[in-house]
Amino acid sequence: MTINDKSSATPNKSKTVVEQHIPIKNVKIHGDKNTGKARYAPGDQIYVRKFSGFFQKLRQRMNLVYFAFFLILPWLQYDGHQAVLFDISEQRFTLWGLTLWPQDLTLLAWLFIISAFLLFFVTAFLGRVWCGYMCPQTVWTFIFIWFEEKIEGTANQRRKLDAQENNANKVIKKTAKHTAWLLFSLLTAMTFAGYFSPMQDLFVDVFTFNTSLAMAGILIFFTLATYGNAGWMRETVCLHMCPYARFQSAMFDKDTLTVSYDSNRGESRGPRSRKDDPKELGLGDCIDCNLCVEVCPTGIDIRNGLQYECINCGACVDACNGVMSKMNYAQGLIRYTTEHELKGKKVHILRPKLIGYAVLLIIMSSMLLLEIVNRVPLSLDIIRDRTELARENFNGEIENVYTLKILNMSQTDNTYKLSVKGIENARWNGDQEITVKAATVSTLPISIAVDPYDLENYMSDITFVVEQISPESDAKVEQESRFFNKR
Protein backbone atom coordinates (compact mmCIF):
# COMPACT_ATOMS: atom_id res chain seq x y z
CA MET A 1 0.00 0.00 0.00
CA THR A 2 1.37 3.44 -0.95
CA ILE A 3 0.26 6.77 0.49
CA ASN A 4 1.13 9.90 -1.43
CA ASP A 5 1.51 12.91 0.83
CA LYS A 6 1.80 16.10 -1.22
CA SER A 7 2.87 19.23 0.55
CA SER A 8 4.39 22.56 -0.50
CA ALA A 9 6.60 24.68 1.68
CA THR A 10 6.25 27.94 -0.34
CA PRO A 11 3.94 28.93 -3.24
CA ASN A 12 6.74 29.15 -5.83
CA LYS A 13 8.56 25.91 -5.02
CA SER A 14 7.92 22.52 -6.59
CA LYS A 15 5.81 20.01 -4.73
CA THR A 16 7.53 17.11 -3.03
CA VAL A 17 6.02 13.63 -3.09
CA VAL A 18 6.80 11.52 -0.04
CA GLU A 19 6.09 7.82 -0.26
CA GLN A 20 5.43 5.88 2.94
CA HIS A 21 5.20 2.11 2.65
CA ILE A 22 3.00 0.36 5.21
CA PRO A 23 3.87 -3.36 5.43
CA ILE A 24 0.92 -5.64 4.71
CA LYS A 25 0.82 -9.38 5.07
CA ASN A 26 -1.38 -10.98 2.41
CA VAL A 27 -3.27 -13.99 3.73
CA LYS A 28 -4.99 -16.34 1.33
CA ILE A 29 -8.24 -17.71 2.74
CA HIS A 30 -8.80 -21.26 1.58
CA GLY A 31 -12.36 -22.40 1.16
CA ASP A 32 -14.19 -25.63 0.48
CA LYS A 33 -12.75 -27.64 -2.40
CA ASN A 34 -16.12 -27.92 -4.18
CA THR A 35 -17.94 -24.65 -3.45
CA GLY A 36 -15.04 -22.31 -2.83
CA LYS A 37 -16.86 -20.84 0.17
CA ALA A 38 -15.34 -20.53 3.61
CA ARG A 39 -15.34 -23.87 5.41
CA TYR A 40 -16.95 -22.41 8.53
CA ALA A 41 -19.29 -19.47 8.86
CA PRO A 42 -19.76 -17.77 12.25
CA GLY A 43 -23.17 -19.34 12.78
CA ASP A 44 -22.19 -22.87 11.77
CA GLN A 45 -22.33 -25.74 14.24
CA ILE A 46 -18.81 -27.02 14.91
CA TYR A 47 -18.53 -30.77 15.30
CA VAL A 48 -15.14 -31.26 16.91
CA ARG A 49 -13.53 -34.48 15.75
CA LYS A 50 -11.83 -36.64 18.35
CA PHE A 51 -8.12 -37.18 17.81
CA SER A 52 -5.40 -38.48 20.09
CA GLY A 53 -1.87 -37.22 20.39
CA PHE A 54 0.76 -35.92 22.78
CA PHE A 55 -0.73 -32.48 23.29
CA GLN A 56 -4.28 -33.78 23.59
CA LYS A 57 -3.21 -36.28 26.24
CA LEU A 58 -1.37 -33.49 28.05
CA ARG A 59 -4.45 -31.25 27.87
CA GLN A 60 -6.75 -34.04 29.08
CA ARG A 61 -4.53 -34.82 32.06
CA MET A 62 -4.25 -31.13 32.95
CA ASN A 63 -8.02 -30.73 32.61
CA LEU A 64 -8.57 -33.75 34.85
CA VAL A 65 -6.26 -32.37 37.54
CA TYR A 66 -7.82 -28.92 37.25
CA PHE A 67 -11.39 -30.23 37.53
CA ALA A 68 -10.53 -32.59 40.39
CA PHE A 69 -8.87 -29.69 42.21
CA PHE A 70 -11.97 -27.52 41.67
CA LEU A 71 -14.30 -30.32 42.82
CA ILE A 72 -12.37 -31.49 45.91
CA LEU A 73 -10.97 -28.21 47.27
CA PRO A 74 -14.14 -26.92 49.02
CA TRP A 75 -14.58 -30.29 50.78
CA LEU A 76 -11.19 -30.16 52.46
CA GLN A 77 -11.13 -29.42 56.20
CA TYR A 78 -8.35 -27.69 58.12
CA ASP A 79 -8.20 -27.41 61.91
CA GLY A 80 -11.93 -28.00 62.29
CA HIS A 81 -13.15 -25.64 59.56
CA GLN A 82 -13.50 -25.56 55.78
CA ALA A 83 -10.02 -25.04 54.36
CA VAL A 84 -11.09 -22.61 51.62
CA LEU A 85 -14.17 -20.47 52.23
CA PHE A 86 -14.90 -16.99 50.88
CA ASP A 87 -17.66 -16.06 53.31
CA ILE A 88 -19.04 -12.80 51.91
CA SER A 89 -21.87 -12.54 54.47
CA GLU A 90 -19.35 -12.66 57.34
CA GLN A 91 -16.84 -10.56 55.36
CA ARG A 92 -13.96 -12.97 55.80
CA PHE A 93 -11.95 -15.21 53.48
CA THR A 94 -10.42 -18.37 54.91
CA LEU A 95 -7.40 -19.96 53.21
CA TRP A 96 -6.21 -22.86 55.39
CA GLY A 97 -4.42 -21.19 58.30
CA LEU A 98 -4.95 -17.65 57.01
CA THR A 99 -8.10 -15.59 57.52
CA LEU A 100 -8.44 -12.40 55.49
CA TRP A 101 -10.75 -9.56 56.46
CA PRO A 102 -11.76 -6.32 54.72
CA GLN A 103 -8.69 -4.77 56.34
CA ASP A 104 -6.58 -7.20 54.28
CA LEU A 105 -7.89 -6.17 50.86
CA THR A 106 -4.39 -5.08 49.89
CA LEU A 107 -3.32 -8.74 50.02
CA LEU A 108 -6.09 -9.71 47.62
CA ALA A 109 -5.15 -6.78 45.39
CA TRP A 110 -1.56 -8.01 45.29
CA LEU A 111 -2.77 -11.53 44.41
CA PHE A 112 -4.85 -10.23 41.49
CA ILE A 113 -2.03 -8.03 40.20
CA ILE A 114 0.49 -10.88 40.41
CA SER A 115 -1.95 -13.22 38.63
CA ALA A 116 -2.41 -10.67 35.84
CA PHE A 117 1.31 -10.19 35.31
CA LEU A 118 1.87 -13.95 35.43
CA LEU A 119 -0.69 -14.28 32.64
CA PHE A 120 1.13 -11.57 30.67
CA PHE A 121 4.45 -13.35 31.17
CA VAL A 122 3.09 -16.74 30.06
CA THR A 123 1.34 -15.17 27.05
CA ALA A 124 4.46 -13.35 25.89
CA PHE A 125 6.46 -16.58 26.20
CA LEU A 126 4.04 -19.38 25.24
CA GLY A 127 1.16 -17.58 23.56
CA ARG A 128 -2.44 -18.33 24.45
CA VAL A 129 -1.77 -21.61 26.29
CA TRP A 130 -3.93 -20.53 29.23
CA CYS A 131 -6.95 -20.69 26.93
CA GLY A 132 -6.01 -24.06 25.49
CA TYR A 133 -5.12 -25.91 28.67
CA MET A 134 -6.48 -24.19 31.81
CA CYS A 135 -9.32 -21.80 30.97
CA PRO A 136 -12.59 -23.00 32.61
CA GLN A 137 -14.48 -22.31 29.38
CA THR A 138 -12.17 -24.69 27.48
CA VAL A 139 -12.13 -27.34 30.23
CA TRP A 140 -15.91 -27.44 30.58
CA THR A 141 -16.43 -27.32 26.79
CA PHE A 142 -14.30 -30.43 26.29
CA ILE A 143 -16.13 -32.16 29.16
CA PHE A 144 -19.45 -31.42 27.44
CA ILE A 145 -18.02 -32.67 24.12
CA TRP A 146 -17.03 -35.88 25.94
CA PHE A 147 -20.70 -36.35 26.96
CA GLU A 148 -21.67 -35.78 23.32
CA GLU A 149 -19.25 -38.41 22.08
CA LYS A 150 -20.40 -40.99 24.62
CA ILE A 151 -24.10 -40.46 23.92
CA GLU A 152 -24.36 -39.35 20.27
CA GLY A 153 -21.18 -40.80 18.80
CA THR A 154 -18.38 -39.39 16.65
CA ALA A 155 -18.40 -36.02 14.91
CA ASN A 156 -19.83 -37.51 11.70
CA GLN A 157 -22.48 -39.42 13.65
CA ARG A 158 -23.47 -36.23 15.49
CA ARG A 159 -23.67 -34.32 12.21
CA LYS A 160 -25.92 -37.01 10.67
CA LEU A 161 -28.06 -37.16 13.81
CA ASP A 162 -28.70 -33.42 13.70
CA ALA A 163 -29.60 -33.64 10.01
CA GLN A 164 -32.23 -36.34 10.67
CA GLU A 165 -35.89 -35.60 11.20
CA ASN A 166 -37.13 -36.09 14.74
CA ASN A 167 -37.54 -39.76 15.60
CA ALA A 168 -37.41 -41.89 18.74
CA ASN A 169 -33.66 -42.52 18.50
CA LYS A 170 -32.86 -38.83 18.07
CA VAL A 171 -35.18 -37.71 20.87
CA ILE A 172 -33.75 -40.29 23.30
CA LYS A 173 -30.14 -39.34 22.55
CA LYS A 174 -30.79 -35.61 22.69
CA THR A 175 -32.72 -35.95 25.95
CA ALA A 176 -29.95 -38.06 27.49
CA LYS A 177 -27.27 -35.57 26.39
CA HIS A 178 -29.04 -32.49 27.70
CA THR A 179 -29.95 -34.26 30.93
CA ALA A 180 -26.28 -35.14 31.45
CA TRP A 181 -25.30 -31.55 30.66
CA LEU A 182 -27.81 -30.12 33.14
CA LEU A 183 -26.83 -32.54 35.94
CA PHE A 184 -23.16 -31.77 35.40
CA SER A 185 -23.94 -28.04 35.33
CA LEU A 186 -25.82 -28.39 38.64
CA LEU A 187 -22.81 -30.18 40.16
CA THR A 188 -20.61 -27.34 38.90
CA ALA A 189 -22.94 -24.70 40.35
CA MET A 190 -23.13 -26.43 43.74
CA THR A 191 -19.35 -26.81 43.90
CA PHE A 192 -18.82 -23.17 42.94
CA ALA A 193 -21.33 -22.03 45.55
CA GLY A 194 -19.48 -24.18 48.09
CA TYR A 195 -16.55 -21.77 47.90
CA PHE A 196 -18.81 -19.03 49.28
CA SER A 197 -21.05 -21.03 51.61
CA PRO A 198 -20.19 -23.99 53.91
CA MET A 199 -20.07 -26.93 51.51
CA GLN A 200 -21.42 -29.68 53.75
CA ASP A 201 -24.42 -27.61 54.86
CA LEU A 202 -25.08 -26.57 51.27
CA PHE A 203 -25.29 -30.12 49.91
CA VAL A 204 -27.53 -31.24 52.78
CA ASP A 205 -29.84 -28.27 52.22
CA VAL A 206 -30.04 -28.86 48.47
CA PHE A 207 -30.83 -32.57 48.68
CA THR A 208 -33.35 -32.03 51.49
CA PHE A 209 -34.93 -29.09 49.59
CA ASN A 210 -34.22 -26.85 52.55
CA THR A 211 -32.09 -24.23 50.83
CA SER A 212 -32.95 -20.53 50.94
CA LEU A 213 -34.56 -18.75 47.99
CA ALA A 214 -31.41 -16.68 47.48
CA MET A 215 -29.19 -19.76 47.30
CA ALA A 216 -31.70 -21.55 45.05
CA GLY A 217 -31.61 -18.57 42.68
CA ILE A 218 -27.80 -18.57 42.68
CA LEU A 219 -27.68 -22.30 41.90
CA ILE A 220 -30.22 -21.97 39.09
CA PHE A 221 -28.33 -19.04 37.59
CA PHE A 222 -24.92 -20.76 37.60
CA THR A 223 -26.43 -24.04 36.38
CA LEU A 224 -27.96 -22.31 33.36
CA ALA A 225 -24.81 -20.24 32.80
CA THR A 226 -22.63 -23.37 32.71
CA TYR A 227 -25.15 -25.21 30.54
CA GLY A 228 -25.34 -22.31 28.09
CA ASN A 229 -21.62 -21.46 27.94
CA ALA A 230 -20.19 -24.98 27.63
CA GLY A 231 -23.15 -26.62 25.89
CA TRP A 232 -24.42 -24.06 23.42
CA MET A 233 -22.14 -21.04 23.12
CA ARG A 234 -18.73 -22.73 23.35
CA GLU A 235 -16.43 -21.07 20.79
CA THR A 236 -18.70 -18.00 20.71
CA VAL A 237 -17.50 -17.13 24.21
CA CYS A 238 -13.87 -17.41 23.09
CA LEU A 239 -14.37 -15.50 19.84
CA HIS A 240 -16.75 -12.70 20.82
CA MET A 241 -17.09 -12.46 24.61
CA CYS A 242 -13.65 -13.11 26.08
CA PRO A 243 -11.62 -9.86 26.35
CA TYR A 244 -8.36 -11.82 26.57
CA ALA A 245 -8.79 -12.89 22.94
CA ARG A 246 -8.83 -9.25 21.92
CA PHE A 247 -5.85 -7.84 23.80
CA GLN A 248 -3.56 -10.88 23.67
CA SER A 249 -1.92 -9.63 20.47
CA ALA A 250 -0.51 -6.68 22.42
CA MET A 251 1.65 -9.17 24.36
CA PHE A 252 2.79 -11.20 21.35
CA ASP A 253 6.04 -10.61 19.54
CA LYS A 254 7.93 -12.47 16.84
CA ASP A 255 9.57 -14.73 19.42
CA THR A 256 6.30 -15.82 21.10
CA LEU A 257 5.72 -19.56 20.89
CA THR A 258 2.44 -20.19 19.05
CA VAL A 259 0.81 -22.94 17.03
CA SER A 260 1.79 -22.19 13.42
CA TYR A 261 1.70 -23.76 9.97
CA ASP A 262 4.98 -23.95 8.06
CA SER A 263 3.81 -22.68 4.67
CA ASN A 264 7.30 -22.89 3.16
CA ARG A 265 7.23 -26.62 3.71
CA GLY A 266 3.52 -27.27 3.22
CA GLU A 267 2.72 -25.31 0.05
CA SER A 268 1.57 -25.99 -2.53
CA ARG A 269 -0.93 -28.28 -0.90
CA GLY A 270 -2.90 -31.06 -2.54
CA PRO A 271 -3.94 -34.72 -2.28
CA ARG A 272 -1.62 -37.46 -3.39
CA SER A 273 -0.88 -41.14 -2.86
CA ARG A 274 1.49 -42.20 -0.11
CA LYS A 275 3.80 -43.63 -2.79
CA ASP A 276 3.94 -40.40 -4.82
CA ASP A 277 6.88 -38.07 -4.56
CA PRO A 278 5.45 -34.62 -3.75
CA LYS A 279 8.43 -32.87 -5.37
CA GLU A 280 7.70 -34.53 -8.71
CA LEU A 281 4.07 -33.37 -8.43
CA GLY A 282 5.14 -29.87 -7.49
CA LEU A 283 3.45 -30.17 -4.09
CA GLY A 284 4.46 -29.45 -0.53
CA ASP A 285 3.92 -31.75 2.45
CA CYS A 286 0.33 -30.62 3.15
CA ILE A 287 -2.09 -33.13 1.61
CA ASP A 288 -5.07 -30.81 2.25
CA CYS A 289 -6.88 -33.44 4.32
CA ASN A 290 -8.65 -30.71 6.33
CA LEU A 291 -8.13 -32.72 9.54
CA CYS A 292 -6.51 -29.74 11.28
CA VAL A 293 -9.78 -27.84 10.85
CA GLU A 294 -12.00 -30.72 11.93
CA VAL A 295 -10.26 -31.13 15.29
CA CYS A 296 -10.15 -27.39 16.05
CA PRO A 297 -12.58 -26.42 18.84
CA THR A 298 -12.96 -22.91 17.39
CA GLY A 299 -13.31 -24.10 13.77
CA ILE A 300 -10.41 -22.14 12.26
CA ASP A 301 -7.91 -23.15 9.60
CA ILE A 302 -4.45 -22.68 11.10
CA ARG A 303 -3.02 -22.69 7.58
CA ASN A 304 -4.42 -19.19 7.09
CA GLY A 305 -1.89 -17.87 9.58
CA LEU A 306 -2.02 -16.72 13.19
CA GLN A 307 -5.58 -15.78 14.19
CA TYR A 308 -6.94 -14.40 17.44
CA GLU A 309 -9.43 -17.30 17.56
CA CYS A 310 -6.60 -19.83 18.04
CA ILE A 311 -6.43 -21.00 21.67
CA ASN A 312 -3.10 -22.84 21.30
CA CYS A 313 -4.60 -26.16 22.41
CA GLY A 314 -2.40 -28.13 19.98
CA ALA A 315 -5.22 -30.26 18.56
CA CYS A 316 -4.21 -29.41 15.00
CA VAL A 317 -0.58 -30.23 15.85
CA ASP A 318 -1.50 -33.76 16.93
CA ALA A 319 -3.81 -34.27 13.94
CA CYS A 320 -1.19 -33.10 11.44
CA ASN A 321 1.59 -35.11 13.07
CA GLY A 322 -0.57 -38.22 12.80
CA VAL A 323 -1.12 -37.61 9.08
CA MET A 324 2.57 -36.88 8.49
CA SER A 325 3.51 -40.17 10.18
CA LYS A 326 1.10 -42.09 7.94
CA MET A 327 2.53 -40.37 4.86
CA ASN A 328 6.10 -41.10 6.04
CA TYR A 329 6.83 -37.37 6.15
CA ALA A 330 8.65 -35.55 8.93
CA GLN A 331 6.40 -34.30 11.69
CA GLY A 332 6.14 -30.62 12.58
CA LEU A 333 4.33 -29.20 9.55
CA ILE A 334 2.06 -27.61 12.17
CA ARG A 335 3.90 -27.09 15.43
CA TYR A 336 4.60 -24.82 18.36
CA THR A 337 7.08 -22.37 16.93
CA THR A 338 7.86 -18.67 16.54
CA GLU A 339 7.56 -16.28 13.63
CA HIS A 340 11.33 -15.78 13.63
CA GLU A 341 11.95 -19.53 13.44
CA LEU A 342 9.56 -19.91 10.51
CA LYS A 343 11.51 -17.23 8.67
CA GLY A 344 14.83 -18.89 9.48
CA LYS A 345 15.90 -16.17 11.88
CA LYS A 346 17.41 -16.49 15.33
CA VAL A 347 14.94 -16.96 18.18
CA HIS A 348 15.47 -14.78 21.24
CA ILE A 349 14.17 -16.54 24.33
CA LEU A 350 15.47 -13.93 26.77
CA ARG A 351 14.18 -10.56 25.58
CA PRO A 352 13.38 -7.25 27.30
CA LYS A 353 9.64 -7.88 27.52
CA LEU A 354 10.01 -11.25 29.24
CA ILE A 355 12.75 -9.99 31.54
CA GLY A 356 10.60 -7.00 32.48
CA TYR A 357 7.62 -9.20 33.33
CA ALA A 358 9.85 -11.57 35.32
CA VAL A 359 11.40 -8.74 37.33
CA LEU A 360 7.99 -7.25 38.11
CA LEU A 361 6.70 -10.67 39.20
CA ILE A 362 9.64 -11.16 41.55
CA ILE A 363 9.24 -7.69 43.05
CA MET A 364 5.48 -7.98 43.55
CA SER A 365 5.68 -11.53 44.91
CA SER A 366 8.36 -10.40 47.39
CA MET A 367 6.17 -7.51 48.53
CA LEU A 368 3.21 -9.83 48.98
CA LEU A 369 5.26 -12.28 51.07
CA LEU A 370 6.66 -9.40 53.10
CA GLU A 371 3.18 -8.10 53.82
CA ILE A 372 1.95 -11.57 54.83
CA VAL A 373 4.93 -12.09 57.15
CA ASN A 374 4.47 -8.68 58.80
CA ARG A 375 0.70 -9.01 59.04
CA VAL A 376 -0.63 -8.74 62.61
CA PRO A 377 -3.74 -10.93 63.02
CA LEU A 378 -5.25 -8.41 65.43
CA SER A 379 -7.23 -5.24 64.96
CA LEU A 380 -8.53 -2.57 67.34
CA ASP A 381 -11.27 -0.06 66.70
CA ILE A 382 -12.06 2.68 69.25
CA ILE A 383 -15.46 4.35 69.50
CA ARG A 384 -15.85 7.33 71.81
CA ASP A 385 -19.00 8.13 73.73
CA ARG A 386 -20.50 10.91 71.60
CA THR A 387 -23.20 12.00 74.05
CA GLU A 388 -20.72 13.38 76.59
CA LEU A 389 -17.06 13.92 75.73
CA ALA A 390 -15.97 14.22 79.38
CA ARG A 391 -17.60 13.98 82.79
CA GLU A 392 -16.59 14.36 86.42
CA ASN A 393 -17.04 11.24 88.56
CA PHE A 394 -17.75 11.08 92.29
CA ASN A 395 -13.97 11.05 93.05
CA GLY A 396 -13.55 14.39 91.32
CA GLU A 397 -11.68 12.76 88.40
CA ILE A 398 -12.25 13.55 84.73
CA GLU A 399 -13.62 10.46 82.99
CA ASN A 400 -13.93 9.60 79.28
CA VAL A 401 -15.94 6.60 78.07
CA TYR A 402 -14.80 4.40 75.16
CA THR A 403 -16.01 1.26 73.43
CA LEU A 404 -13.18 -0.99 72.22
CA LYS A 405 -13.81 -3.43 69.39
CA ILE A 406 -11.13 -6.13 69.29
CA LEU A 407 -10.98 -8.27 66.15
CA ASN A 408 -9.19 -11.60 66.44
CA MET A 409 -8.20 -12.33 62.82
CA SER A 410 -6.49 -15.63 63.67
CA GLN A 411 -8.08 -19.07 63.74
CA THR A 412 -7.48 -19.74 67.47
CA ASP A 413 -9.09 -18.36 70.66
CA ASN A 414 -6.72 -15.75 72.10
CA THR A 415 -6.43 -13.82 75.36
CA TYR A 416 -5.33 -10.19 75.21
CA LYS A 417 -4.06 -7.66 77.76
CA LEU A 418 -5.22 -4.06 77.38
CA SER A 419 -3.56 -0.87 78.60
CA VAL A 420 -3.38 2.85 77.88
CA LYS A 421 -0.44 5.25 77.73
CA GLY A 422 0.05 8.95 77.12
CA ILE A 423 -1.21 10.41 80.44
CA GLU A 424 0.48 9.85 83.78
CA ASN A 425 -1.56 8.09 86.49
CA ALA A 426 -4.50 7.32 84.17
CA ARG A 427 -6.86 4.84 85.79
CA TRP A 428 -8.52 2.07 83.75
CA ASN A 429 -12.11 1.22 84.65
CA GLY A 430 -13.16 -2.12 83.20
CA ASP A 431 -11.64 -5.44 82.19
CA GLN A 432 -7.99 -5.34 81.15
CA GLU A 433 -7.86 -8.96 80.01
CA ILE A 434 -10.28 -10.37 77.45
CA THR A 435 -10.55 -13.65 75.54
CA VAL A 436 -11.72 -13.33 71.96
CA LYS A 437 -12.84 -16.38 70.00
CA ALA A 438 -11.24 -17.19 66.67
CA ALA A 439 -12.27 -14.99 63.74
CA THR A 440 -14.71 -12.93 65.82
CA VAL A 441 -15.07 -9.39 67.13
CA SER A 442 -15.45 -8.70 70.86
CA THR A 443 -16.86 -5.42 72.17
CA LEU A 444 -15.57 -4.05 75.49
CA PRO A 445 -16.93 -0.84 77.11
CA ILE A 446 -14.37 0.88 79.39
CA SER A 447 -13.61 4.30 80.81
CA ILE A 448 -10.39 6.17 81.56
CA ALA A 449 -10.26 8.43 84.64
CA VAL A 450 -7.58 11.08 85.23
CA ASP A 451 -6.95 13.53 88.06
CA PRO A 452 -7.66 17.01 86.60
CA TYR A 453 -4.33 18.27 88.03
CA ASP A 454 -2.56 15.84 85.63
CA LEU A 455 -4.26 17.40 82.61
CA GLU A 456 -2.44 20.39 81.15
CA ASN A 457 -4.64 20.93 78.08
CA TYR A 458 -8.27 20.58 77.11
CA MET A 459 -7.38 17.66 74.81
CA SER A 460 -4.61 15.10 75.32
CA ASP A 461 -3.33 12.34 73.00
CA ILE A 462 -3.52 8.81 74.40
CA THR A 463 -2.71 5.40 72.95
CA PHE A 464 -4.56 2.15 73.61
CA VAL A 465 -2.39 -0.98 73.54
CA VAL A 466 -3.62 -4.56 72.97
CA GLU A 467 -1.12 -7.41 73.46
CA GLN A 468 -1.71 -11.12 73.05
CA ILE A 469 -0.69 -13.05 76.16
CA SER A 470 -2.22 -16.48 75.53
CA PRO A 471 -1.21 -18.40 73.51
CA GLU A 472 2.10 -16.58 73.79
CA SER A 473 2.69 -14.42 70.75
CA ASP A 474 4.27 -11.18 69.57
CA ALA A 475 0.92 -9.94 68.25
CA LYS A 476 0.47 -6.38 69.39
CA VAL A 477 -1.51 -3.40 68.13
CA GLU A 478 -1.63 0.23 69.18
CA GLN A 479 -4.35 2.73 68.36
CA GLU A 480 -4.35 6.45 69.06
CA SER A 481 -7.32 8.35 70.53
CA ARG A 482 -8.09 11.55 72.44
CA PHE A 483 -8.84 12.33 76.09
CA PHE A 484 -10.92 15.44 76.78
CA ASN A 485 -10.98 17.60 79.90
CA LYS A 486 -14.06 19.45 81.07
CA ARG A 487 -14.06 23.14 80.17
- Locate the domains of the chain by residue range: 54-106+124-239, 378-484
CA distance 173 to 79: 47
Residue 1 has pLDDT above 50, yes or no: no
pLDDT band at 26 (very low <50, low <70, confident <90, very high): low
DSSP-assigned states of every residue in 150-204: HHH-SHHHHHHHHHSPP-HHHHHHHHHHHHHHHHHHHHHHHHHHTTTS-HHHHHH
Residue 44 has pLDDT above 80, yes or no: no
Q: Which of 20-24, 37-41, 68-72 has the highest mean pLDDT?
A: 68-72
**H-helix segments, 331-442:** 339-342, 352-373
pTM of the model as a whole: 0.80
Backbone angles phi, psi at 337, to 5 degrees: -155, -175
For range 331-358, the mean pLDDT? 92
What per-residue confidence (pLDDT) applies to 155?
94
The CATH number of the structural domain formed by 378-484 is 2.60.40.10
- From the list 287, 247, 310, 319, the residue with the least C-alpha distance to 301 is 310
What per-residue confidence (pLDDT) applies to 99?
84
What per-residue confidence (pLDDT) applies to 251?
86
Summarised one tens digit per residue, pLDDT across range 357-414 is 999 999 999 999 998 888 888 999 999 988 888 999 998 999 999 999 999 988 889 9
Residue 29 has pLDDT above 80, yes or no: no
Give first-to-last CA distance, the chain, whole Å.
85
% of the chain surpassing 70 pLDDT = 91
CA distance 445 to 433: 13
Residue 30 has pLDDT above 80, yes or no: no
CA distance 194 to 435: 31
Which letter does DSSP use for residue 406 in this model?
E
